[in-house]
Structures are given as C-alpha cells and as structure tokens.
Amino acid sequence: MKFGKEFVSQMVPEWQNAYMNYISLKSILKDISKFNEQNESKAPMASTPKGSLRRRLTLYRAFSGLNGSNQRDSSSKGEDEVILIRSIEDEDSKGLYQTMFLKSSEDGAEKDLEFFRKLDFEFNKVNGFYKKVVKEVVEEAEELSKQINYLIALRIKVDKVGFTNLDTSNGNSSSIPFMHAKHGHSSLHMDVIHEVEMSNDSHLEEDRNHVAKTNSKTSIEGFRPAPLEVLDHVKINVNPPETPVSTIKGLLSSSKSHHTFNKKELKKADEQLSTALKEFYHKLRLLKKYSFLNLLAFSKIMKKYDKVSSRNASKDYLKMVDSSYVGSSDEVNRLMDRVERAFIKHFANGNHRKGMNLLRPTAKRERHRTTFLLGLFTGCTIALIVALFILIHARNILNSEGRTKYMDNIFPLYSLFGYIVLHMIIYSANVYLWRRFKINYSFIFGFKEGTELGYREVFLLSSGLAVLSMAAILSNLDMEMDERTKRFSALTELVPLGLVIVVLAITFCPFNIIYKSSRFFLIHCVFHSICAPLYKVNFPDNFLADQLTSQVQAFRSLEFYACHYIWGDFTTRSNKCSDSHIYKTFYLVVAIIPFWIRFLQCLRRLIEERNTMHGLNGLKYVSTIVAVAMRTISSEFGGGTVWTVLAASSSGIATIVNTYWDIVMDWGLLERNSRNPWLRDKLSVPYKSVYFVAMVLNVILRLAWMQSVIGIKEAPFLHRTALTAIVACLEILRRGIWNFFRLENEHLNNVGKYRAFKSVPLPFNYQDDDDEDSADT
C-alpha cells in the first residue's frame, strides 16, 4: 500500500482536518515533475553541461589560501542552499514558521514557491493543533492528579486505615502520579507513587505491628499518607440519575445531598476515575500517533521533493521540523509513562499485565472461523429458500384450500423473524459503508474498544437466524389437517413459539458466547428506552428507539403470538384475534409505543438541555402518533369516510414534517449556500448524486402508509398479510438508508469540533470555604 493511502487509513477520523494534507502537496510535486520533464525534452542536445560550466567558472575564482577550508565549505554550502527557514515571533503569529525559497529566479520556480507556502501552512497547522491539544491534556492531567489524591484519602477514610505518629514534615515534596498538581490547599502535596494501599486485614495488621515496633515518626520510609482533612473540602459529584428509582428520589428529595463517604460511594468513585484514566490514556495514545504520522508524512514529502526537483532541501526543513514543538516535545511520552505507573499501582493492584491490558485493549482480529461460518450459513439459507419454492410448486400450495388459513395464522408468526433478519442485514450493510467511508461509528455509539461488531459478524448473526427461520418454516409447511384427528400436529405448530424462546434465550444468555458484550449492550439500550424518561438519553438509546419505530409490525407480530397461543386453538389454526376489540385496541397501542418512547426521550432532553429543538422533535413524534392512531382506526375499526379523511390528512402532515426533519435536521442536507449546492459543505461519499437519490427514496418510502388509507388490502397473488409484510420491509429499508446518513452527519459534526473522545465525569469536586460561603450567599 502506498504511503498516501496508509496515511489516510491511520488518521483519527475526527482529527482528519488537522492532519497534513499529503495529497495536495503530492499533486504540486506532480506539476513540478511534469514541468521538469517538459524542459528536459525541449533542451538542445549539444548544450554545455551545467556541471562543466560550473567547473570552468571556478578557474577564475580568487585563491583563498591553503587554510581557507572553512570559508570554502561555507561558500559551497551557500551555493547548495535551497531554502531558508525562520520563525516569526510577531505577537499575533508567535511560533509560526516561514520558508524562503532561494532559487526563485530559476525557471518554473512558481511551483516551488507554491509548494513551500503550502508546506508551511500545513506544518503550522499541525504544530499549532498539537501544541493546543498537549496543553489541554496537561491541564487534564493536573485535574486527574488531584482526583487520585482525593480518591486515596477517601480509601483511607472508608477503610478506616490508621497511621499514628507519622511525621512527613522532613520529607521531600514528591510528585503525584503523572503531574505535579499545584493547589491552594498545601496538604494536597502528597506522595501517591509510594502510597501503600491496604488490600486486606492481614496487611493492615502487619503495618500496625511494624509501626508499634519501630516507634518512630518515620517508621514507613518514603510513605506519606493522604491527609484526611482534604475530604472536608471535597464534594462527591452527584451524577445524573442512573436508575428509575434514583430519578424519582432525585425529584422528590432536595437538591443538597449529604455524603457519608461509604463503600458504595468509594466503589463508584473508583470506577469513574478508572474509566477517566483509561480514556485519558487513549487520548495520549492517539496524540502520540498523530505526531508520529505527521512527522513521517513531512519526511516523506520532503524526500519526494528532493527527488523530483533534484535539490537538497529536505535536510534543512526536517531539521526545523525536529526542533519544533511537535518534533521535540516529550510531554506526551512522559505523561503516558506516569499514567501507566499510576494506573497499575492504584487500579490494578500492582499487576502490570492486568493494568496494561485494561489501558491497551487488544485490537479485534478478523477470524477465519467467522468467514467460514458466514459462507456456510449463507449457503444454507439460499438452499433452504430454493427448497421452499420447490415444495410450494410440488405441493401446489398456492391453490391449496388451507392457504388462506396458513396466511392468516402462521405467516404472521414467521414474518417476525423476517423483519429482524432484514433489519440485521441492512445494519451490516450500514457498518460496511461506515467503515468504507471512514465514519467512526464505534466511537459515536460508545462501544468498548475491541468489542464492536463488524459487518461480517452482524451478517453472520442474521444468516444464522435466517437458517433457523427457514428450517422452521419448512418443518411447518402443512396446509391440510390430519383427516383422522381434524387437527394439525401440535409439535410442528409449536415450532414458531419454540424459535422465539430460542432467540430470547440466546439474547439473554449470561455466558460469554455469541458476542456477549454486544448482546448486553443491546439489552442495556433497550431497557433504557423502555424506561424513558427515567434514564438520561444517550445517542445509542436515541438511535435504538428510532429503530424501534420502524419495527411496528414486529411488535404487532409479538402481540399475535400471545393471542394465537393463549386465546386461540393453535392445533386447528383458529383464533378470534381479528374480531376482538381488546386485540384491536392493543393493536393500536403497540404501534404507538415506539413513537411514545421517542417523545419521552425528547421531553427528557428538553428539560435537561433547555434546547427547543428537542421540543420540536417531540412534537414531530406526536404528529406521527396521531397519524398512526387515525390510520389504525380507519383500517381496523371501520371508522368510515370521516376517519379516512382524518387519517389521510394527519398522515400527510406527519409525512411532510418527518421528511423535512430527516433531510434537514438528521442528515444536515438542503443547505442552499453550501459548497455543495443543496447538500452540505462536507460530504463523506464522493458521489453527490447518492445524496439526492437518498432524499427521493426517503420521500417515496415514507408514502407507504397510503396503502392502508386508500384501502388496498390485497394485491393480485398477494394475501393481505403478505402485503402488510412488504410495506413493513420497505419501512425497514428506509430506516437503513436513514441510518447511514444520520451517522455520517453526526460524525462530521464531531470532525468539525475535533471531538474524538468521550467526556467522562469525574467523581470529586474541590471547594474552598470561601467558595462555599459565596455559593450560600
């Protein structure tokens, strides 16, 4: 792979604008190369060689003496010098570098001047960004150092570790884990590196005996316990409620909370600080990678310039690069080393391997087993589909008398798995496209590093479920009852229910099989969505709830399961679901629930963030709820012309509102004055027509509701349940298109703000007495 492609592939996606633009610099070098080739072809063959002329001119130079070697070297160096680099020390542009091209009088020097102007711009951009981010991480390191001090003091307080007669007044002031944190409170200068943590009672007893034997003020050499007085000024941050019960308690209780410094608070603070340190270390790793890649890119491009122009400018320029901040600063390496030592000591019980595994999780490797099983399941699914069509033709099932009963009772049971499989296949396509166009979906969703599923894994799961579903359909393809018993086989009729139980058992399986972390992440998001608005709304919960709004027919299929197996006679494939008003009422309620969840999430975000856009988004879902209710009443309850008109008008309004929100708010398109007319300034997909096609498809697929309003319940050769399934699949397809552009817009927003890290809340907040008094007044 060429360096240019490797360079792009190794970029931090959210920082891509801050990297050196290697491609543009390389394009200038191509122009220089073309110009040189044209000049060589035009040059006369009999012309005097340049080197020969230079040697002839030296015959007429003044003799500088036998000891004039230094002067001769300097003059030779002056002749070979191509560039002169200086640092601009102006107040407005301090720290910028400017290159002066000394061969500007030569032919074609315009391109060289353009190259060095662009090169200076790119280097100053890289150097400035690196300096800015390093300054931020240094400040963050100071805060994390204070947090670890507070945590150690809390550990001593909670564990009731006693150290008597310890005097550290004569000890040297030592630094804390990875920065020497300066704070107004003098007691914060403590030795955390040599802090001894008591892991059990036996260790505690040994240390107490040691103190009693020595009876000395400096009995533990190098140990300085964290002063407990600091806890008088520390408040444990009250994080957003994490459970429905805590949310309700937070609403009922007063805003002030009394901290008892118990083990529960210690455990929570320990987990939060451990997560913050891991995220901070990840930031340092990316920053180190950023500097390395850019330094390598400048080295590569300068060597290419020397090769193309036949000059020797790389040595001087790379010397400047090495002496610059991005090339010479060792702050990141020192911080990484100190974070490693602090994390291993305080969060891994001194276990180096365990600590480094937590700080540097292993990258996920592609396994041949996944590819093999994917091919196997896909082949089996295709074979089962072919077998299904052969059986339908061989048994003449389409003309069978039991076809209608099968479509009314069995098809809705299996369509549930069809919706799930289709959604998973489309999601796997989304993952492939996100990776293809460098959209950092794992960061946006907040997946733990190394646990996110790739498109192969998602497609493997969908093909595995497809195999189970097709095998179940083939085992339950009987159209006629047993003439002797006038019933269907109870065992085969229970196959759909058994398949649901198998899928649920795999989903909730507590063992570390079949992508446990991803399954539990999904369960976590589903639970948060169901409990809205009692949980803080994160992007994964928000995104998943939007997926649920496209699975209305799947929820209705689950309702049919309950009716068919509980209130019906599944052995005769008979039930009275369609005639029951209770069933129809729940048929309406089930369709509204996903949109109601999204409305509650918008309401929660409106209250927390005070952003009116969330309120408008909530009204959008209210309009959808009204439209769904009107359509269901019109089609299922037989409301007549009035309800049909209400259904059509409300659905039309909801379609206009939802389409506008999809394209303008969720996708960020239709910007009139953007660099890409009617799209947006930044696009991940290089083909602009893709965006226009997606907008048109979104509008067309959103009009699928017209089928139920117009009254088209059956089509030629299609039963009404099959037609309903097709309309539901079109909505899932529309959601898949929406998914890609929604995440692309979110990613580009992160890129615009250089937001490549999660904000991790810290457990402690230090307050001086003066701050508390001013807060009270």
pLDDT tens-digit profile of 305-352?
888 888 888 888 899 999 999 999 999 999 999 999 999 988 888 888
The secondary structure of the chain in percent helix, strand, coil, rounded to multiples of 5, reads 65, 5, 30
DSSP string over 596-609? HHHHHHHHHHHHHH
C-alpha angle 510-513-516 in degrees, rounded to nearest 5: 60
- Beta partners for 235? 765
DSSP string over 680-696? -S--SSS-HHHHHHHHH
Question: For 42-74, how does the pLDDT look when each residue is reduced to its tens digit (9 = 90+)?
Answer: 655 444 444 444 444 444 444 444 444 444 444
- Beta partners for 96? 88
For 290, other C-beta atoms within 10 Å of its C-beta total 23
For 158, other C-beta atoms within 10 Å of its C-beta total 17
Give the pLDDT score at 66.
46
Question: For 7-29, how does the pLDDT look when each residue is reduced to its tens digit (9 = 90+)?
Answer: 888 888 889 889 999 999 999 98
Q: How confident is the model at residue 655 (pLDDT cuts 50, 70, 90)?
A: very high
Give the pLDDT score at 299.
92
More confident site: 49 or 616? 616
Percentage above 90 pLDDT, the chain: 42
Q: In this structure, are residues 591 and 635 in contact, taking their beta carbons and an 8 Å threshold?
A: no
Residue 173 has pLDDT above 50, yes or no: no
Q: In this structure, are residues 588 and 600 in contact, taking their beta carbons and an 8 Å threshold?
A: no
Q: How far apart are CA 342 and CA 284, in angstroms?
A: 15
More confident site: 660 or 150? 660
Give the pLDDT score at 522.
95
Give the pLDDT score at 263.
81
Residue 358 neighbours by CB under 8 Å, 6+ apart: 274, 278, 343, 347, 348
Percentage above 70 pLDDT, the chain: 78
Over residues 403-415, the mean pLDDT reads 91
- Beta partners for 569? 574
pTM of the full structure: 0.80
Question: For 123-153, how does the pLDDT look when each residue is reduced to its tens digit (9 = 90+)?
Answer: 999 999 999 999 999 999 998 988 888 888 8
Q: How confident is the model at residue 31 (pLDDT cuts 50, 70, 90)?
A: confident
Give the pLDDT score at 188.
34
Domains in the chain: boundaries: 1-40+79-360, 368-752
Q: Chain-wide mean pLDDT for the chain?
A: 81
Q: In this structure, are residues 673 and 747 in contact, taking their beta carbons and an 8 Å threshold?
A: no
DSSP string over 101-127? ETTTTSTTHHHHHHHHHHHHHHHHHHH
Q: In this structure, are residues 162 and 180 in contact, taking their beta carbons and an 8 Å threshold?
A: no
Give the pLDDT score at 36.
79
Maximum mean pLDDT: which of 176-185, 201-210, 599-608, 743-752: 599-608
For 401, other C-beta atoms within 10 Å of its C-beta total 8
Over residues 652-665, the mean pLDDT reads 94
Over residues 507-517, the mean pLDDT reads 92
Residue 658 has pLDDT above 90, yes or no: yes
Q: How far apart are CA 132 and CA 123, in angstroms?
A: 14
**Lowest-pLDDT choice from 3-17, 32-46, 187-201:** 187-201
